[in-house]
Structure 1
């Protein structure tokens, strides 16, 4: 970098810098420079301090990493947090969640619920999230205004949903939204067929053709429970993943969410098609849906990212906590203490999520030329001492309350634990008011 280069907008000097790519690296006493929303410099502290910068920020005791990527959720469902706990998936869905959605979900619900979820995620170190919920245009507006990054999937089912009277209407809206936002720097529109048991072959074919034409991603719940797979086999003689393979949906643009049931044939299909799997361990644990064999997938070369799922089934949007659960669970499921070590777990929560969305050239690791989507974790507290491997401490000994600062495209969205663009008190009051209405305690 020569002295003729324009000054940096911001120079950060953390104690540890974890780029995620190359894998397993921890840089001590290094600096990271940002210019025009992108990473312009990474190098030793001494070299960094020689550069001209409009602002220099010391981050003592802090670990700077790529922003976390929450690869699956239903943001607005944060307003249903705790509404129907301790129930099996189909009872939870059919008896509680679907009726509640039919009654309450409108544009106002989606706006308020999405804003609540965005704020919670920013405070937890998440810079980008995948959303799949009704009224995606409203969710897109929330993301746009917040400064966050997101992939927003239009849900498509064979029956009417809030905001779309049919699958064709949902598809039309998705195509229109895709066109409107295709040049947006932080929002990517995807197609979200809900699950194999709610979408017909004919509608899946339509989605495949359109997604191919637009080079869009497809986000879908697949093999969430053993019951789902067993029912499909009994009714059609075919496993849901095999059906998706036959219909031509699988591929690098396809995100298979949950995948708790994986046979040898399923694994071969995932590998051969280069399909990404989105792992949601806590939602799967809470609904007793099963265990995704993460280490087996990883060793076979499948890209595995991580998601919280919605707050109605988790019940938080805490991706750091989710990653810790994922690392622990992977060891138990594989029967091996070396499965999914801390560095790979962090990669799953960052670069692998970016890869699943087709954004790995822009986000997911700290590399010169990529967007400056970053989070600073404060590891100076009592519960983090002593520090032998800061990444191990981050995954195994740190909670999301240690998130100190967060940037998306170089802009600070969280500064010293404070949201810079959102009113936390107002968001809390709005959520409480919704809770009173839904539980029937409002005036």
Structure 2
């Protein structure tokens, strides 16, 4: 008989790998932060008699959700400037607000709010892009949250850095600090083709290969972006990045709503990952990512929420549902992107894009125990015929009851174990008052 820390029992375990498998009345065995076994309950109770048993009698266990694109501190700007086109929203409202307010304190408080929201929605790993990334990394570490922290690069100065060289230098310092951290990884995060010039992008391409880290970038988000590139560089953004040697399996191309069939093949050939943010794309009227075509071409597609300023939530259950439904409508095919694929896009595909598929994204023996329990027993989720379909087409994030990251329970019966919810609320409300008063005086 083997000694282990914990057994988690649920009526349904959806491991993602193997595909199309739903394990009924099984237990996950957890020891020292990793999954060491997955077996029927009757066998588990004999083999691991002394383990702490957590019984979830009407739940499904799924891998922790991977939010492959967000700007966590921007949660403090949620609802600030809604119902506007992207560039008007950015240049007329968001960038001026950031210029006024972004600081270490703003980033810390915004990241806390975002991480709390993500945890309670079953997100166990997020890929972030924002100023003061070392603060986001620090907050995530304190909470016990898994994160890939963007080493942001942009041409214009901010309160964090003044020049592209300054951004890159500070990013490399961050990478050195977290090189061997169990929860925190880094990625280069050049903002977008219209905010980063050629020389910094060339440097990013070289350094990303040397350090073996991902490159996370907004790309082909709007028609205006594509037209700007044609006017300034004579080519579409994707071709420009190809010339700069940035197209590879290290690139996470975010949004990708403006694509030709030829560009889809280029993405497939290069191994570039596409991060689909359907709710943000809809809200900003950016366009439609051709998910079914990308999938048919063999492109790895993951899901992201974008920031709460443009979404306006960090809800991966909504992103799964929208990704599946929009793909069907756009392809004219009800079988396009079935529920099991949408769940994979929110878990293993995101892990693969971030280079973490050997550690997270599925409930496999040997992987770290990033696990989410979803309550399927309430009337809103009944009757239940197929748990995966129910998760994608019926469940809301409010059904997430328990969350573990590397075996540590960070959400227990919807209550945080590593966060002070009342403190986060009071800090957020104080920021809202400050920002609201400033906008009134403008």
TM bucket by the smaller chain?
Answer: over 0.9
Write out per-residue CA displacement over residues 185-241 of structure 1, whole angstroms, 9 at most, x where no aligned residue: 010111110001111111100111111111111000000001111221233221101
In the other structure, the counterpart of 1:427 is 424
- 1:10-409 alignment, distance < 5 Å: 10-52=6-48, 53-409=50-406
The 3-state SS of whatever aligns with 1:213 is: helix
How far apart, CA to CA, are the structure 2 residues paired with 1:173 and 1:226? 32
Determine if contact 1:245/1:269 at 8 Å carries over to the other structure: no
Q: Offset at 1:154?
A: 1.9
Q: Secondary structure at the match of 1:100?
A: helix
SS at match of 1:256: strand
How far apart, in 1, do the equivalents of 2:144 and 2:255 lie? 28
Find the aligned partners of 1:145 and 1:42 in 2 and give their Cα distance.
30
CA contact (8 A) 2:12 2:22 kept: yes
| More displaced 10-residue stretch of structure 1: 46-55 or 114-123 | 46-55
SS at match of 2:384: coil
Q: For 2:363 and 2:159, how far apart are their aligned partners in 1?
A: 39
Where does the alignment leave 5 or more consecutive residues of structure 2 unmatched? none
**How much does 1:43 deviate?**
1.2
1:46 Cα offset (Å) = 1.5
**Structure 1 position 161, deviation (Å):** 2.0
CA distance in 2 between counterparts of 1:86 and 1:240 reads: 26
The offset of 1:96, in angstroms, is 0.2
Contact 2:302 2:350 in 1 (8 A): yes
Rounded to whole Å, the distance in 2 between the matches of 1:195 and 1:373 is 31
C-alpha separation in 2, matches of 1:190 and 1:291: 26
CA distance in 2, matches of 1:337, 1:397: 17
SS of aligned partner of 1:184: coil
Question: In structure 2, how many angstroms separate the alpha carbons of the residues matched to 1:339 and 1:110?
Answer: 39
Contact 1:270 1:302 in 2 (8 A): yes
Q: Distance in 1 between matches of 2:127 and 2:250?
A: 14
Alignment coverage as a number of residue pairs: 438
Q: How far apart, CA to CA, are the structure 2 residues paired with 1:385 and 1:316?
A: 26
- Following superposition, the deviation at residue 24 of structure 1 comes to 1.6
Question: How far apart are the structure 1 equivalents of 2:46 and 2:247?
Answer: 49
SS in 2 for 1:262: coil
Residues 23-81 of structure 1: per-residue CA shift (max 9 Å, x gap): 12111111110001000001112211112243001111100000001000000000000
Q: Deviations over 1:139-174 (max 9, x none)?
A: 000010010100010221111123001110110011
Give the alignment's TM-score, normalised by structure 1.
Answer: 0.98
Normalised TM-score (structure 2): 0.98
C-alpha distance after superposition, 1:327-377 (max 9, x if no partner): 111111111111111110000000000000000000000000000000000
SS in 2 for 1:290: coil
CA contact (8 A) 2:401 2:413 kept: yes
Of stretches 277-286 and 226-235 in structure 1, the one that deviates more from structure 2 is 226-235
Equivalent residues of 1:242, 1:269 under 8 A apart:
no
